Amino acid sequence: MARIIYPRAQVSIAGVVDGEEYTARVLCESVSIHETPHTHASMAEVTLFSSSLPFRGRQLQGLVAAIYLGDAGAANGQVVEPRDPRRNLRFVGNIDQRTRDEGGGPRVKLSLRDLSAPLRDAKPVPLVALPRYSDTVMQALQRILDAVPGVSDQLTIREDVSTSPILAQQLASATGRRSANGYLPLPKTDATAWTAIATVCDAAAALVDVRLDELVVARPSDAYGEPGQPEAIPVAATFILGGLGTNAASFSDRQKFVTNRKGIRAVSYDPEQRRSIEVVYPPDSGLPPVRLPRAVTGNPPAPKPRRTTRPRAQRPPERDTITAFGISSPARLLEYARRLWAERALNEVTADISTPLMDEQFLALRFGDLVVVKLDVDIQAELRRLPDERGRIEFLRRRLHVSEDAARLLAAQADRSNGEFFRVRSVTKTASHTGQPEVKAELISIFVFET
């Protein structure tokens, strides 16, 4: 079990004060970091005592803040380690708003968005920054970053073993285009710089996200997973419920019943062949037919005698039509449709879990991480001694104080040692000098494990 004795939050503020660059590092009264999926900017909120700032709030201009959150190691220790300054770095973003509160002592509340915020606000994209088919993904992304003032100084593109093959692709080959001439079309003329970045990554069937001060391009399987691949994916954190080894304070799950699961129909245009191309995913056989039970009001009707009739033709499943920009090959268009389906076809079971521990495995959680929720070994041993599922559910409800749905999900672990696997959709990390620290994650269940 993790032991965090001295949790602490610290913020480093850098920016322009009265026309001069200035840096200040202060302790926070409270900090809350909310990390979201790649489609939205992550946010943070920091509360400081006004006296801790060496300058007046009205002097602040163009500020960037770095939030450190973790174990200081000692009562008078620092959460920022000189030998490894990025160890406890949890968030980097621009300060969007300052709020002054005089109640209970003068305080300043700072609202932040991650470093993708300037890209999401900048529009339209200048002509010199438009992505070209002759560019590699790396070249196209870097040109867009350079076109937004100040962004290339803050944000760098991550290059490592996993991202280099994606970044090295030429957009012409990624989209199946025979010629490398021309520009990759954007969805609209006044598209933001972030929309241009997302369009480039869509052409390469990849996702894009901002992590701290890096722009990260990844495969969809790195964020949503694929059936048959769980053993190859590292587990970022393990939550344990019940017993002496517990590290989770609460667990709840919910299920959304989808009555109309639509497929994907992706369409594009091949300007060289002057023809439209279209693909569907998954195939009709991979989508369940829409069939809803009939509601019964009053007394149930008497069963009618079965008549032999000609079977009615089954209606084809409904699909959402998505326009893909700049993709000229059916094979590349199918890969794009697969990526969209991976984002949409999430399991209907989602869960919320929280822990008060400022442990590194929980503080480092991000969107797309794989986590395990499992029962303590003693609880699991007691479950095995219970003969039926109903008894196991009631035992878990009394012992862990969880809902019946959550108890039913956990009862399935009685004969399994792996636990339940989830992906992180969003995570909120909160620390306060006056309240209890908490890491709360929203999880999605997408894998089916055979044991």
Other CB atoms within a 10 A radius of the CB of residue 321 amount to 11
| Band of residue 313 on the pLDDT scale cut at 50, 70, 90 | low
Q: What percent of the chain has pLDDT over 90?
A: 12
Domain 7-114 grouped into CATH 2.60.40: no
pTM exceeding the 0.85 threshold for the entire prediction: no
48 pLDDT higher than 50: yes
- pLDDT score at 308: 59
- pLDDT score at 196: 92
CATH annotation of 230-257+347-444: 2.40.30.150
Question: What homologous superfamily is domain 118-219 in, according to CATH?
Answer: Baseplate protein-like domains (3.55.50.10)
139 pLDDT higher than 70: yes
